[in-house]
Every structure is written in C-alpha cells, then in structure tokens.
Amino acid sequence: MTVELGREVTLLLQAMEEAMWRPETRFDSDYMDAILAPDFTEVGQSGRIWSRDEIVHSPYQEIDVALPLTDFRVQGVCEHGALVLYTSVPERAARGAAHRSSVWALTDRWRLSYHQGTPVDL
C-alpha cells in the first residue's frame, strides 16, 4: 500500500536528499547530526556498512554526481515514512552510477533512517 505524500513533501525530500550530495552540507557535521536519525545506517555501493557516526564525521572528499538526481521519486510507505528512489550518475566519470534508496521518517522533522546504493552500468 502506497500513501500519497503530496508534491510539497516530494520537493522537500528531494532537496534534503540532494543536500547529501553537496559538499557544503555533506561534510558539515552539525547538519548531518541534525538530519540523520539516531539509528541511521548506510550500505554503500561497495557493500560496506557505514554507521551514523562514521557518516557524521566523514572527512571531506570530492563528490562527483549530476544534480538534480536522475529518476527521483518518492513513495509514501506509511503516514510518517517515505521511500526515496533515484539513480546517482557521475558528472565527470564514465563509471560509478548507482541505484539508490533512502528511508525517511517524520518525527519532529524529516530524518534519514537508512540509505543504500547498488552499482549499475548505464
């Protein structure tokens, strides 16, 4: 069963998801601490599992992704939860695209609970 979340929520979640790909927010530990749920986990496209603490305190690195994100869509999974799906496509590299999924939960505000990347050849 899919729950309709509306265009406003879709645009908000897209902006929040794309903020994860912008160096000025991705490597801002205060921002990441505020946006990630306490039980956040990420499964990277390499298969590595990342903890919330590792993501919040990750060192700066170059991010190669084209924005806006490709094939971005949101599915409501319950009244206070959303599944975000998209494909990340490198802007400069020939390889490195991934299908991505994120679970966002609405508590006092939208927070990212889970993220996974799966490599794909485009």
CATH number of the CATH domain containing 107: 3.10.450.50
1 inside domain:
no
Number of structural domains in the chain: 1
Query: Does 2 reside within a domain?
Result: no
The pLDDT tens digits of the residues spanning 72-122 come to 999 999 889 999 999 999 999 888 999 999 999 999 999 999 999 999 998
Encoded tokens for 93: 């590299």
pLDDT classification of 69: cutoffs 50, 70, 90: very high
Alpha-carbon dihedral 18, 32, 56, 27, rounded to 10 degrees: 60
Residues of the domain holding 73: 7-119
List pLDDT tens digits, range 2-61.
Answer: 667 888 999 999 999 999 999 999 999 999 999 999 999 999 999 999 999 999 999 999
Domain-embedded: residue 21:
yes
The CB density around residue 71, as the number of other CB atoms within 10 Å, is: 10
Place of tokens 């496509």: 89
Closest residue by Cα to residue 31 from 109, 120, 119: 109
Look at residue 18 and tell me if it is in a domain. yes
Which residue has 């050849």 as its token pair? 121
Instruction: Say how many CA atoms lie within 13 Å of 56 toward its Cβ.
Output: 17
